[in-house]
Amino acid sequence: MFWKYFLINCLLISTFFISSKIMAQDALNPKLPKNESVLLKLKELKANHGVLLGKAVVHGDFNDIARDFNLHKSGPMGRDFSIKMVWAPDRQRALFCGANHGVPHRLNDVWEFDLASFSWIMLYAPDNNRDYTGLGKDFSDVLFKNGVLVTKRGGPAVIGHTWWGLTYDPKEKCVLFMNTWVTNLKKAVEQLGKDASEIYPGPPLWSFNPATKQWKMHLVTKPFPIAPFGGMLEYIPELNGTIWHTNNWQMQATWLFEYKSNSWRNLEANKGGDFAKAAAEPEQVGYYDPNRKIIVAHRHKATSHFDPQKNVWQKFVNADKDAPDVPYGHDAYAPMVYDPKSGHGLLMELRTRILWSYDPDAKKWTKLAPEGDAIPDGNKPVIYFDPIHNVLVYIQGTNVWAYRYKI
């Protein structure tokens, strides 16, 4: 009798996991056919080789604003100080959002890239275009609601660069974005004929759910951090939340956001130690390493690690500004990703197209010399690492190049 129920339970459990996987796949919208030609090129790619995959196709429910900026043909393109893409493990796709400096637009659209179908997919078509410091020429789509400037469709009416303030929460299955910008909120609210004293004083943390295609502003009560430019937002499973980190005169702290409780907590990292000298400064790039359970952050010529279990930042590389054996890390010019196959970080200096690897155990940088197809030319590419296909993906508009570091 025991074995009978044991087998029934096993069947039920396996059915649940299979059904869950099917449901996760069915939740993708649009669900696109695989590009077998691209998949074959990826399968045959050797270690330390790059391959040109061709031009990706562009999908989405494009509105007039998207078409005015040719997004239905070009995809999002890379954007000033918005070069970070985040991997969504449940969707097996990479997500992208964030505004340009102003040219040719400042838009709050959201995209994802699917390597298997070789597609850019617009998930949220943009609301009206904004200008550098205000709501733009046409702010008829803007509301002042609960102390926040929001569009009638629910998106952020003020849209900033992402810098390195973008991450993915795999438990909540959403993007988190610290949407900080220079807009004069008081002036913008008064422009709508509303009371500026009601402006929400907390950090502008937004989330985007790719399944429902909805933006959400996270209103919290004190305590909460401030939101300087160029900070780092990164989900850490061991802390069951997302850190927001900056280290300059505006804020020297690492805070934790817990989605379920909708609350912030100052981790008081390096308490009693020298946080200012050890922790990464703004403009940093980096990633979470799930094997070593650390954050690796690189800024200019300095590399720091954050151990969330010890709650300590340590600086392991601090080279001179002209040092040739360390890359220049910057959230506008040099994105950095984690390669799970090797356990190393990969950083590309976009202005020189030079690729580097970082070994967190040896605390050492190595300049790479990829073989195979050359990296495509062009302005403002974006990069992510696809763990399903074990490649760094470099996207210049719709031109796509993939690189395999280790087999």
Q: What is the pLDDT of residues 110-167, one digit of tens each?
A: 999 999 999 999 999 999 999 999 999 999 999 999 999 999 999 999 999 999 999 9
Domain presence at residue 339: no
Domain presence at residue 276: yes
Domain presence at residue 175: no
Task: Determine the 3-state secondary structure of 330 from DSSP.
Answer: coil
Task: Determine the 3-state secondary structure of 284 from DSSP.
Answer: coil
Q: Which range marks the domain in which residue 277 is found? A: 229-334
- pLDDT of 27: 64
Tell me the C-alpha distance between 300 and 302, whole Å.
6
- pLDDT of 13: 34
- pLDDT of 117: 98
The Cα-based distances of 177 to 38, 91, 228, 287, 290 in angstroms read 31, 18, 13, 15, 21
Domain presence at residue 380: no
Tell me the C-alpha distance between 262 and 249, whole Å.
27
Q: Is residue 313 scored above 50 in pLDDT?
A: yes
Domain presence at residue 329: yes
DSSP secondary structure code for residue 290 in this structure: T
Residue 280: which CATH number? 2.120.10.80
Tell me the C-alpha distance between 231 and 162, whole Å.
9
Cα angle for residues 246, 234, 81 (degrees, 5° grid): 65
Tell me the C-alpha distance between 101 and 227, whole Å.
18
- pLDDT of 232: 98
The pTM of this model reads 0.92
- pLDDT of 29: 73
30 confidence band (pLDDT: 50, 70, 90):
confident
List strand residue ranges (DSSP E) for 259-325, in order: 263-266, 285-289, 294-299, 302-307, 312-318
Cα angle for residues 116, 118, 121 (degrees, 5° grid): 105
- What is the b/e burial string over 197-235, where b = at least 16 CB atoms within 10 angstroms of the residue's CB? eeeeebbbbbbbbbeebbbbbbeeeeebbebbbbbbbbb
What average pLDDT does this structure show over 192-213?
98
Domain presence at residue 310: yes
Domain presence at residue 76: no
Domain count, the chain: 1
7 confidence band (pLDDT: 50, 70, 90):
very low
Q: How high does pLDDT run on average in the chain?
A: 93
